[in-house]
Every structure is written in structure tokens, then in C-alpha cells.
Amino acid sequence: MKRSFARILALLMIVTIMASISVGVTAASVDTATIDFTRTGSIDIYKYDLTMANTDSTVAAMLDSYVSTGVKDTALEAIMDDGTVNNLGNGQQSYGYAIKGVEFSYLKVGDIVTYSETESDGVHRDMVLYKFNDSTDAALLSALGLSNSDAYPVVSTYAQNGYHFFTSDTLIDALSAALAYNPTAVKNALEAYMSSQNAPKMSETDAHGHTSASDLPLGLYLVVETKVPEMVVSTTKPFFVSVPMTSVNGTNATNGGEQWMYEVTLYPKNETGIPSLEKTVRSMGNIVLPVIDDPIINHNVSGTRGIPDGEFHHTATASTGDRVEYRFEDKLPVITSDATALTTWSWRDTLSKGLEYNGNQAAEEAGLLNGHYNASDVKITFYRNAAMTDKIATWTLNDATPKFSVTYGGNTSTTMDVTVLPAGLNEINTATTVYTSATATEKGYSSCYVRVEYSATLNHNADVVFGDEGNPNTVVLTWRRSNTSYYDTLVDDAHVYTYALELTKEFSDGRGVYSNVNFKIQNSTDNYWLVAEKNSDGVYYVTGRGDTEEDATVFIPNSTTGIVRINGVEDDTYIITETRTDNGYTLLRDNITVVINTAEDSNRACGIYATDVLGLMQNDPRYVTFDGYQELAHNLLTASATVDGKDVTMSALDGSVNAMVPLTIINTRGPELPRTGDNGVWMYGVVGALLIVAAGVIFYLAIRKRKNEQ
């Protein structure tokens, strides 16, 4: 409301000023109609953000018809700098539509001279010409497509060795034509020319977009925008300024120029924009990818989950020990000249503690990666199109001259810095494989797309977070242009979820031995058997996948509690089979089917974008409309479960809800064989013993009788 009110007042000021001028203007005096060469001049520049200003239809309409006259316009300044505070990426502030951090170089390239001669046709001509030095201004003329032959043909008595004279028409038309035909090359040539001539630099534009140069000797000046902050995508076209100059329309009047102005005020504008950033993840399990670009593998066709393995999304689920693959994808900003070239382009990636980078040798040596280690895990690919099908170039760490570096913090750190090196920045800024036309307004990989790929392993330890809390993985993109004091950031993240099963063993009479019970578990969705190891905390952590039942881990309940917990299962269907129970108890008749489902929770939107405290978020409405940046948003996952088709309430784990599927398995006593009581079975043994004794006695007596008879 305050900004709108300020703009209305400012527009009223413009109308009032224009009305008063149109009524009260008078012809200039003789003193002001000619140049006073005893004076010096000044150039004041106010720099504004055209992209941002165009988001306001009232301001956009005013700017569309506005003509800069060289005269200070306080009414315009009131509109463009209404006091609204903008927080900049480097911790500083600007106001309204002002752009802070722009540097202009200026250089006197010609003297203002009066040409007054009678030429060969007998006509005496008086005009203003600009005198150029053949030596120091040769590069400038060349950049404009001019040579000494384009100079005004002054009479021989006026000619001077080492100098040529040009009309303003020739210079203005040449600069305009050159910028129209090859703006990038001309801007670069003029920026280089200013550097070669050690041209003075104005101070960087302040929070109000203002900078100036004063006490200037009179003459023709070339002004070039030579340094910009990170948001500027296109520099102002280089321009000539005559100090002094005749007001374009008579100090804002409509009757043409009437006087020489020694204080020239200009209001150039920049277009601004930001890159884009999106991080996604997919779970690959133990899949071995084919050696092709951008494989999309889906090995979970029969699963119940909403996000199949092999597809990239902001969220994924995985079992511990699985490999998960990440991408972050950017649209590169516009690059139009050396002044808008990128000087920093880097990503800081941070994994949750439960994950480890597969390119981190220290993590491999610590036994965390389960054979997923790959020294050259990170790859960067550039594409011409948003669909990322038209590939330009691929960078790896194995390149003869690496164009990026990868640094992992600490021995088993969960941070990774991917930094584009000078050789890579040079390719991004200057490559000629994309923009080949001489009239192209962009250069290098401007407005192209880049994808960074790497993988990680979900660890099988207590660092993993189970349940709806998930394991977030954040990336921060940082970029700078020619003004390295200014930078900005974008953030995005992806989330990896994993869950647990908690089996509680009971015996119907409370007398069974828990440790005599065995379970095996099969993931029927992906057709593998769970392989796990028991950690010191007595909890099983999934570490891999078995192809056959013989490979499966035998899960044994805790001998005291009867609980067996398996941490690190993804959202799939699991078949639990009790393969052994204690003596005197019966096995379960059927297998147990557990299904873990996940779905996006519309009530839990990811809040990562609000954490971009260093600068503009990628869903900033100022840039969504005008540069086509899509507003990013994604929801977090929540889990649910069924056991044998019946809904169960998942329990929490370490403060994270919906983390474990609880189920209790009860073994009942087996039926006993029937007994015959006291005269029952025990009698058979007694009778048998008596018969044996009797047979022995009879045999003894028979032997004795035979001896007596003999």
C-alpha cells in the first residue's frame, strides 16, 4: 500500500512538472547557448531493475513511454526508489527498484571541436565534430566497425596528423548498428578496450542505484558497464555521452534543445533473473544400471508404492544398504558479455547422517558403503533443452583437464562441495557450440541446462532416521558474476525414507524359549530375501538382498523380551515366515503378509525454500512470471501399513512417527499324545522286564538239571 501511494504521488509530480514546464519555458540566453570551456562537467547514473519494475503494470506503462533527457528527474526517482527495502544475497540492502553493485567505466575518447571552414563546393560549414586520436582510439573505432575513412572529410587546412574527426551521427549510427548485429562481440570488445586504456571506474552503484563521476574535462565520453552483481543478466548497451550535452527536449520541454547541460543525469536499466535449482532422488537397491545416458529403470512394477524405484522425485524410499542416486538440475542464467560472465558456480550438498557419498573413500574404508564405492562418482552434463535430451557436453573427474572438483568434508562427512574450476567457467562463459550466429545476444552455455549426478548409500546403523521424519538431503547453489562481492544462493532438497518391522514373540502359556524361534522375511514386491546383521544394540539392520532362501538371514527374537526388530525396510510387501519354534509349540499355519504404503501428505509441505536466507528464493514471484522460472513445491511422505490385509497403527521411533510396523506372533502348545493312565503304557516295560527275568531263571534251571543227570 505504501509503495502504491508513493508511486501515485510521484506520477502526480511528473504531471505537475511537465505542465509547469510546458507553460513557462522560454528561449535560452546567449550565454547558455554556447559551450563554456572553462567549466567541467559530471555524469550521474541511477541504475534500476527493469525486470522487477515491469511486474507493476503502472510503472511498466510509465517506463514504456518515458524518454530520458539527460536532466535529473526527481519524480522518476521517487517512483523507482520508493524506500521499499530489498535484502541482497551478500547481506546488504537496496531500495525499491534500485540495483546495487553495478560498476561503470568511463573514458574521454574525443574532444568537442567547432569545424568552421569553406569547403571545395564553396559552401562554408559550421558544425560540432569530435576529434579522435588515431593511436589510442583505433581499437574503439574497430569495435564500432569504423576506420579513418569514415571520418568527416575536413579541408586540408584543418587536418591534423594523428587525428581524425567524426560527426556524432557517424558514431551513434555505427555503435547502434554494431550492437544490433553482434551485441555480445561488441560489448566484449568495448569492455576490453576500456580495460586496455585503464579507463577510470565510477564507484559501484549504492543502495539507491546511484553512482557518478564529477570534475570531468569537457569532451565525448564512452560509458561501459564493466561489472555487475549476480542478478544482472544483461548489461546496458555501451553508450556515448557528450559533456556538456544539449538537453534532448529542452529541459523536459517539447521545443527541442535550448542549452548546454554540464551535469548529465542518466537512468539506464538492467534486466535481471536467476537460475533454477531442483534436487531429486531415486532408490536403486542392488540394480546394476546399463551404460546409457539417463536410464530410467523401474523394478517395482508390482509394488503398491506411489513412487517406483528407478524414477526421480523429491522423495524416495529405500532399504538400508541400498544405493540411492541423486540429481540436482539447474537452468543456467543468461550470459551476454564478459561483464555478465559467471565467476563462481558451486554446489554445497549435505546428506543426513544416515547416508554416505559413494565417492568418499574414507566412508568406504570405514565399511559403510557395501561395495558401492566409486572414486569418480560425480558427473556433470550440459543440455540445450529443458527436457535434457539434447546433450552438449559431459564432465567427469577422469577428464584430462578436470573442469570441476569434488571435496568431502572430513573422514566420513556428509557434506560434498562440487566446484566448477576456471577451465569449466571458461567453457560455460565462452563456448561456441551453442550460440553460433554472429547476431546472437547470448554466449557460452547461457540459458542452457546442467545436471549433476552422484550416488550415496543408506547406512545400516543408528544414524538413519526411520519413519515420517525422513532423511533430508539439501543442496545450496551459489553463483557470482563479475562483481564478486555480490552473490546469491538457491536451495532445494530431497528426502529418503525407510522403516522398521517389530515382531514380538509370545507363547500361549508364557513358558517357551524365545531364542528357539526363527523367522525369514521375503520382499515379495522386488523378489528378494532380507539379509541383515545384528548390531550391538540388538537390532537387526538390513544390509543387502538375497536371491534365494538360503541367502536369507535367520531372525531370532531377543532371549529376554521376545522382540526382533528389523530396521531399514522400504515401502513394499513383505512375507514373514516362521521357520522354527520351541519344542511343544506349533508353527503358524500361514505366512504373515505386511504391506508398508507411502503417500504424499498434503498437510506437510516441505519448507526448504523458506531457509534461503542469503537471497531470493527460486519461487520469488518477481521472476516466475517474466523469466519462466517454475515455482517449486513438494510434499513430504507419510506411511501406513497393513498386516494380513488389516490396518495397523504404526509406532514411533526416536520421535519420528509412522516408523515401525508392530505385530505380535503367538505360538500355542502342540497337542499331546494320549496317555492310558497308571496301568497304561508304563506296564509294558514292567511286564517285559519280568518276562526277561523268568526266561533267565528257566534257562538256568534247565542247564543245572542237565548237569545233575550226567
**Class at the top of the CATH hierarchy for domain 276-497+611-621:** mainly beta
Of 8 and 573, the structure prediction assigns the larger pLDDT to 573
The whole-number pLDDT of residue 216 equals 97
- The reported pLDDT for the residue numbered 435 is 94
pLDDT band at 348 (very low <50, low <70, confident <90, very high): very high
- For residue 7, pLDDT beyond 60: no
The DSSP H or E segment spanning 186 is: helix 183-196
What pLDDT does 412 receive? 56
Q: What is the pLDDT of residues 497-507, one digit of tens each?
A: 999 999 999 99
Determine the average pLDDT of the residues in 168-188.
92
In terms of C-beta density within 10 A (0-12 exposed, 13-18 middle, 19 or more buried), how is residue 318 classed? Answer: buried
**Buried residues in 194-204 as b, exposed as e (16+ CB within 10 A):** beebebeebeb
Q: How far is CA 700 from the centre of its chain?
A: 104
CA 706 and chain centroid, separation = 113
What is the phi/psi pair of residue 376, to 5°? -110, 50
User: What is the assigned CATH class of domain 2-272?
Assistant: mainly beta
Q: The domain 499-599+640-667: what is its CATH number? A: 2.60.40.10
695 Ramachandran zone, left/alpha/beta (phi>0; psi -120 to 50): alpha
> What is the per-residue pLDDT for 702?
67
Cell 493312565 locates to 677
Strands 269-272 and 48-49: parallel
d(CA 154, CA 164): 9
Please state which of the ranges 95-104, 121-130, 369-378, 686-695 shows the lowest mean pLDDT. 686-695
Q: Which residue has the higher pLDDT, 378 or 23?
A: 378
Quote helix, strand, coil % in the chain, to nearest 5.
20, 35, 45
**Residue 427: which H helix or E strand, with range?**
helix 422-430
3-state secondary structure of 660: strand
| Distance of alpha carbon 305 from alpha carbon 309, whole angstroms | 9
CA 394 to chain centre: 18
Instruction: Read off the pLDDT of each residue in 511-537 and give the average, rounded to a whole number.
Output: 94
Name every residue whose Cβ is closer than 8 Å to that of residue 15 and which is 6 or more positions away in sequence. none
Tens digit of pLDDT for each residue in 659-678? Answer: 999 999 999 997 766 655 55
DSSP code of residue 237: P
Q: What is the pLDDT of residue 84?
A: 87
Predicted pLDDT of residue 52: 83
**Residue 603 pLDDT class (50, 70, 90 cuts):** very high
Decide if 475 contacts 279 (C-beta within 8 A).
Answer: yes
Alpha carbon dihedral 309, 314, 316, 322, in 10-degree steps, equals 80
| pLDDT for the residue 363 | 84
Cell of 443: 554466449
- 103-112, 128-137, 221-230, 284-293: least confidently modelled range: 284-293
Residues above pLDDT 70, as percent of the chain: 82
Answer yes or no: is pLDDT of 631 > 80.
Answer: no
What is the rounded average pLDDT for all residues in the chain? Answer: 84
Predicted local distance difference test score (pLDDT) of residue 517: 97
pLDDT score at 214: 97
Q: What is the DSSP string of 130-189?
A: EEEETTTTHHHHHHTT--GGGS----TTT--TTEEEE-HHHHHHHHHHHHHH-HHHHHHH
Q: How confident is the model at residue 30 (pLDDT cuts 50, 70, 90)?
A: low
| Helices 57-65 and 2-24, axial angle in degrees (round to 10) | 20
Cis peptide before 244 (omega within 30 of 0): yes
Tell me the pLDDT tens digit for each residue of 410-461.
555 689 999 999 999 999 999 999 998 878 889 999 999 999 999 999 988 8
In whole angstroms, give the CA distance from residue 423 to residue 81.
40
Q: DSSP string covering 475-535, please?
A: EEEEEE-S-TT-EEEEEEEEEEE-EEEEEEEEETTS---GGG-EEEEEETTTTEEEEEEE-
Is this prediction's pTM over 0.75? yes
Q: Express each pLDDT in 306-345 by its tens digit.
A: 445 557 899 999 999 999 999 999 999 999 999 999 999 9
* Per-residue model confidence (pLDDT) at position 621: 45
Is the pLDDT at 288 greater than 50? The verdict is: no
Stretch 118-143: mean pLDDT, rounded?
92
pLDDT of residue 311: 78
709 vs 58: which has the higher pLDDT: 58
pLDDT higher at 637 or 65: 637
**Residue bearing the bigger pLDDT, 185 or 292:** 185
What are the angstrom distances between the C-alpha of 307 and each of 304, 355, 523, 597?
9, 20, 17, 10
Beta carbons within 8 Å of 241's beta carbon, 6+ residues apart: 43, 106, 220, 221, 223, 264, 266
Residue with cell 509530480: 13
The pLDDT of residue 699 is above 70:
no
Pairing of strands 163-166, 415-420: unpaired
Q: Lowest mean pLDDT: which of 259-273, 287-301, 523-537?
A: 287-301
In which band, very low, low, confident or very high, does the pLDDT at 704 lie, cut at 50, 70 and 90? low
| pLDDT exceeds 50 at position 23 | no
- Higher-confidence position of 272 and 148: 148
Question: Has residue 297 got a pLDDT over 60?
Answer: no
